[in-house]
């Protein structure tokens, strides 16, 4: 199946970046859908800001920037976004019930041959597919933050996902300039978060137990493990609420050993979610 038109559902932290990559690199026509005009405006502003940075660095030309923006069609109308799309990428907040309700609606509005994917970072693909009449045409397509820069896409099979669907999404991801890994078995956290979240959780325990302070924990991992940034700064980038939801899912579905550190719960309750709220372990209000 050839993909020409893409719908990205959600213009938030991940959705706007996915839409940008689809339009800029793969040169797809992209319907970008949000539920409120203010969210749509913010998503488009973030795309423009990202493209302007690429322009300054010489990654794109003025013409390429204009062409990319012309390929992105913002809308509040779900039907308008998905009706002609060959591929739909759901990127709404990491909440199983919300995702399932959106996917069930998409299933009714999308054309029969369309492939539907979810950018979930941890929720069962088989569970999400249970709301669809086409589970064989559904899989996980997990981008990493920020999608404009991060090269990996995890492609996750559900219990009923067809080989054709997986192969099509591998091709689409490559057209977007991405490297892919195929997760053969639907398991919580997939590959990256199954390894990363326990590491982040351990960093939280080091801080919670007073073993080292924030800067030294981040410095140790950055220099000792060659990470591009320390775990506490990475938590701020990812969003503490997102990390908590993944840790809780791993604990529930796999093993009690994934129990989230109390410090993580405390900060989420306080609304200190990281970069998206301006404060987490670091102050982002000036940046």
Identify whether 121 is a catalytic site residue.
yes
Peptide bond into 146 cis (omega under 30): yes
| Catalytic residue (choose from 50, 119, 124, 193) | 193
| Catalytic residue (choose from 118, 119, 121, 245) | 121
Identify whether 142 is a catalytic site residue.
yes
- Alpha carbon dihedral 34, 149, 71, 108, in 10-degree steps, equals -40
| Catalytic residue (choose from 34, 90, 94, 154) | 154
Tell me the C-alpha distance between 165 and 151, whole Å.
Answer: 21
Alpha helices in 112-191 (DSSP H): 125-129, 163-175
| Catalytic residue (choose from 16, 50, 124, 142) | 142
* Residues present in the chain in total: 287
Tell me the C-alpha distance between 281 and 275, whole Å.
Answer: 9
94, burial (CB in 10 Å: exposed 0-12, middle 13-18, buried 19+): buried
Active site residues: 121, 142, 154, 193
């Amino acid at each position: 199946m050839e993909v020409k038109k893409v719908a990205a559902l959600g213009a938030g932290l991940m959705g706007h970046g996915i839409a940008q990559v689809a339009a800029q690199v793969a040169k797809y026509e992209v319907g970008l859908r949000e539920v409120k005009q203010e969210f749509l405006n913010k998503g488009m502003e973030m795309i423009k800001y990202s493209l302007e940075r690429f322009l300054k660095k010489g990654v794109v030309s003025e013409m390429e920037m204009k062409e990319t923006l012309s390929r992105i069609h913002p809308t509040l109308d779900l039907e308008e976004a998905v009706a002609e799309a060959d591929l739909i990428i759901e990127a709404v907040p990491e909440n199983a019930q919300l995702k399932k309700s959106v996917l069930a609606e998409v299933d009714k509005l999308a054309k029969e041959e369309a492939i539907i994917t979810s950018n979930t970072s941890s929720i069962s693909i088989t569970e999400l597919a249970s709301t669809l009449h086409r589970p064989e045409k559904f899989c996980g397509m997990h981008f990493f933050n920020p999608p404009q820069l991060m090269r990996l896409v995890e492609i996750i099979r559900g219990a009923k996902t067809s080989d054709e669907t997986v192969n099509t999404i591998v091709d689409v991801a490559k057209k977007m300039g991405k490297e892919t890994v195929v997760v053969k078995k639907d398991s919580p956290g997939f590959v990256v978060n199954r390894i990363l979240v326990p590491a982040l959780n351990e960093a939280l325990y080091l801080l919670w137990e007073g073993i080292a302070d924030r800067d030294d924990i981040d410095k140790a991992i950055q220099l000792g493990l060659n990470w591009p940034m320390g775990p506490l700064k990475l938590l701020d980038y990812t969003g503490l609420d997102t990390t908590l939801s993944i840790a809780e899912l791993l604990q529930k579905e796999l093993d009690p050993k994934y129990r989230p550190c109390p410090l993580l719960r405390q900060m989420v309750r306080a609304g200190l979610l990281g970069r998206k709220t301006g404060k987490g372990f670091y102050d982002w209000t000036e940046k």
